[in-house]
Amino acid sequence: MSNPSEAELIHMFKGIPFTTRSSPELLKSLDTFDAREDDVLLVSYPKSGTHWLAGVITKLYNTQVTLTSPIEFGDISKLEELNKLSSKRIIPTHLDYNMLPPNFKNKKCKMIYISRNPKDTAVSMYHYYRDNPNLPTIDTWTAFFDLFLKGDVVCGSWFDHFLSWEEHENDKNVLFLFYEDMKKDLPKVVKDISLFLGLNISDDDIQDICKKSSFSEMKSDTEKENSNPSHTVCALTSNRKLIFRKGTVGDWKNHFTPKQNQRFEEIFNEKMKLSKMAKSLTYEF
C-alpha cells in the first residue's frame, strides 16, 4: 500500500497547514461558534503537554465537566455536537489566537495556554510525524528540522503560534503555563490553575491530584483506555499510543547537531526578540 500523498493529508487554511481531520468547512465556520461564559479552553501548539494538562484539569473539578475533542477536529457537524453538550465544557485547541472563534474572546472565557521549550517540541513532533499515519512521511530528523523552522508543519510556525498568544498573557482570562514547570513543581502549577479557575482545592487534594497526574501514571492510564476518538484532546490523532512518548525535558540534545542548535538559536533570537516570555522558555538552551 503506498503512503497517502501530502495533498491527501494536509490542506492550507489562512496560510496554516492543517490535517484533513480538520475539514475546511469546519474551519470556515468556527467564527460562528457560540461559546459559553463558563467554557474553559486548553490551548497549545502540538506536543506541548496538552493531554497531561487536560488530565490534571478534569481531576480538579469534582462536578460534571465534559472534556471535548479539539474544536477544530472533525467535520462541519462538530459545532452542532458541541452545542448539544451540557456545561461545563473543557475545550482543547491548537489554534493560534487570531483563529480562535471571536465569541470566546467576547465572553472572556478562561483560556490556559501551555508551552514547552520549542527544541523539545520539535523533537517530539518529529517522532509524532514518523509514527502517525495521518501525517506526511518525513524520513529524517534533518528534513523535519528544516520544515519546523520554516513553519511548514501542521499548525504552522511554533514562533507565530506562541507570539499570537503571548500578546494576551496579561488578559485576566488567560493563564500561561510551561511544561517544564509541570515537570519541576507540579503542585505549584496545579495550585495556580485552581486559583485561576476559581476552584477551592485543599493542599491535600492538590497532593492527591499530583500523585494521580504524574507523567508515568497518565501514560499508563492512557494506554489502558481504548481508542475512542471522542476522547482525544489532540487534533492530529486519536491513537492513544502516540500521545505520551518520553515526556523528558532536554531530549533535544540527543537530536540536534551543534550546527542545528546554532541555527535554531539564531532564528529563535530573531523571532523572539520582542518576546518578554522567551526567557521562560530558555530552560536548557
Residue 278 banded pLDDT, cuts 50, 70, 90: confident
184-218 residue pLDDT tens: 999 999 999 999 999 999 999 999 999 888 766 76
Over range 17-36, report the average pLDDT: 95
Q: Which pLDDT score is estimated for 220?
A: 62
Which among 114, 94, 111 is positioned nearest to 103, based on CA atoms?
Answer: 111
For 101, left (φ over 0), alpha (ψ -120 to 50), or beta? beta
Residue 1 banded pLDDT, cuts 50, 70, 90: very low
Which positions are annotated as active-site residues?
94
Distance CA 61, CA 14 (A): 36
Q: Is the CB of residue 9 less than 8 Å from the CB of residue 20?
A: yes
Domains within the chain, CATH numbers bracketed: 23-281 (3.40.50.300)
Over range 234-254, report the average pLDDT: 63
pLDDT, greater one: 259 or 280: 259
Q: Which pLDDT score is estimated for 285?
A: 42
What are the grid coordinates assigned to 113, written together?
495556554
Q: Is the CB of residue 19 less than 8 Å from the CB of residue 154?
A: yes
pLDDT, greater one: 61 or 279: 61
What are the grid coordinates assigned to 50, written together?
496538552
